[in-house]
Structure 1
Amino acid sequence: MMLNGKTIAFLVAPEGVEQVELTEPWQAVRQAGGTPRLVSTEPGEIQAFNHLDKADRFPVDTTVEEVSAADFDGLVLPGGVANPDYLRTVPAAVRFAKGFFEAGKPVASICHAPWTLIEADVVRDRTITSWPSLRTDLTNAGANWQDQEVVICVAGTNTLVSSRRPDDLKAFSQAALDVFSG
């Protein structure tokens, strides 16, 4: 599948994104002919992590205050515990993520990333997977949680791709590309 120049937003906090959950889907989007853009809450650089250890830094392309879902063809929400835990406390980041659902654009979420979607109130009546510790949070928010490598949930004009953990990245990236390619 080719993305034919589609632009995909990757929403991350200034610190705490799980590096491999950012870089593998990013590379997949690039290799498929898409343009990944790093969106954060602050300009400059973000600090990625390999679990609890600091990893690489990445330049921010734009902030949530400068763009909206209308500027992109899809959204990737990488995990890491600290990443979505921070994003869900920033109203502009929550509005940015929710905007993709309101616009009927595809979203891909992995690991702990659904915390941002819970805050955006977009998981009710959806089937989703995540890191296992989010099961209760997602169920309490009205979602149907499944323990599967990848879950694709179509609701109206919006499609949500979700996966559990870094071990699922190959399936996650492939499913996200399938959905982003349209």
Structure 2
Amino acid sequence: MIAGNVQLPHGITARPARPADKAFLTTLHKDSRPELTQLNAEQDFIEMTLKLQLKAQTQGYGGQFPNAIYLILEKNGSRIGKLTLDIGPVELRIIDLAFIPKARDKGFGPAIILWVMKAAAQTRKPLVAPTRRDLTGLMTFLRRYGFVEEEQLSDSVYARMIWFPNQAEMHGGADIRPRTAGGGTL
């Protein structure tokens, strides 16, 4: 469990989420769902749908991933995103990674993923990153760094991407660098 602030790349810090972060997380969820906010529907319906989705998401994470940690990402003292990470007995899993609109497309996402990859290597566990297929930039990044798709656990919307650290990465003898995956799919 993370007790205080953790220094991440790009001057970002991570800290455990607190009850006072609820409004921020609600806004972040809304900003991460542009397809809902652009619906031709009553504003009350859209707000209710977003609220129900967020509630189902957070309750579902707790039930499905009891070891999950919920982190708020900050830069210069301002909240810029969230990372939900499951530390399971066999694998680490990025459950959710999201940034406010002003913090997107600045290289923060890949830096956070590389940080989690290092943590996976240090704990000698694979890293799972379920990824929406329409996020082509993220899919390209993951494949470039050796993630492969577990096709039997994927569907038409999400690809279950998994990364296995090599021996040098697990023993701290190598930085995490782009590499060819072992086979492409599992």
TM value normalised by structure 1: 0.36
Which is strand-richer, 1 or 2?
Answer: 1
Higher relative contact order (CA 8 A, sep 6+): 1
TM value normalised by structure 2: 0.35
